[in-house]
Copies of this chain bind each other. A is one copy, B any other.
Amino acid sequence: MFTERFLRDKRGASLTAAERARLEAAISEVRTYKPRKIIAKAGEPLDQSTLLIEGFMCRYLDDRSGLRQLVAIHVPGDFLDLHAFPLKVLDHDVATLTGATAAIVPHSELEAIADEMPELTRKLWFSTLLDAAIHRAWLFRLGRLDANARVAHFLCETNARLVSAGLSDGRRFALGLTQADVAEICGLTTVHVNRVMRQLREDGLCVFRSSLVEILDLARLTALGQFNPAYLYIDDDANPLPSVQRPRS
């Protein structure tokens, strides 16, 4: 079941068994990728999209001197270039961060789905809009938060997304990124990300070492990053984070 995590526990958009089966049938191929490989370049016409099964991928824009600004990172369950189906051509590059496996879905299959299954189509649309909502949270992060808060916000967001994917217990998760990657995400230099990580460690908020994130004080990290997970559209009663667990009735 390659589509197992896709839209899992997303408010009003979880797939029915029939929809899941249809999507599963649309997969033409499963590929594996090495770390730090470019998967799609801006401007090239695409006739397929990629459903991430394992590993981390990213999307980014280059500035004139070749520096990257990441505009998204993707975790297992993300249909990461589904927007290439309506757009036909991407405005940015897509690459792996870690080694990864992904399912390939040809656009011809998506066209068939669009003709036959309006409700599933609406859910695919929803999935691309979820990415847009995350873009907006990233805009807030870059526009309004200082360096410490940016990194805190990013770690909280990634934690929440990985909890939803079943890949974090709400406190600890594997994250195969370097400090340089975090810098490209948060619009900072690697030197300064290093300073921020040290401060988070010394303040007892979070430790990020050898590709493992350990959140020591989720409440304070959340407050520091002004993180409010509403934009992730996660079902209220699915996989609650430890800090938002409600009393059992």
Contacts and interface: CB of A to CB of B under 8 A. Distances in A.
A128 B131 contact: no
B139 A138 contact: yes
Interface string A116-150: 00100111011011011101111110111100000
B91 A231 contact: yes
Contact of A86 (B126, B131, B140): B126
A61 B230 contact: no
Contacts of A135: 71, 132, 135-136, 139
A204 interface: no
Contact of A126 (B43, B69, B87, B137): B87
A118 to B, nearest CB: 5
Given A71-B136, A136-B91, A122 B86 contact: yes
Contacts of A179: none
Contacts of A145: 63
Interface string A167-194: 0000000000000000000110000000
Contacts of A71: 135-136, 139-140
B87 A233 contact: yes
Please state the number of chain copies in the assembly: 2
A115 interface: yes
A contact face: mostly helix, strand, loop, or mixed:
helix
A118 B115 CA distance: 6
Given A118-B115, A125-B86, A61 B136 contact: yes
A12 interface: yes
Contacts of A230: 42-43, 91
Contacts of A220: none
A83 interface: yes
Contacts of A8: none
Given A92-B231, A129-B132, 11 more contacts: A61-B137, A63-B144, A63-B145, A67-B144, A69-B140, A114-B118, A121-B121, A128-B129, A142-B142, A142-B187, A143-B186
7 contacts: A12-B88, A42-B230, A86-B123, A125-B128, A128-B129, A135-B135, A139-B139
The 9 closest A-B pairs by CB, nearest first: A143-B187, A135-B135, A142-B142, A91-B231, A132-B132, A69-B143, A86-B126, A71-B136, A61-B140
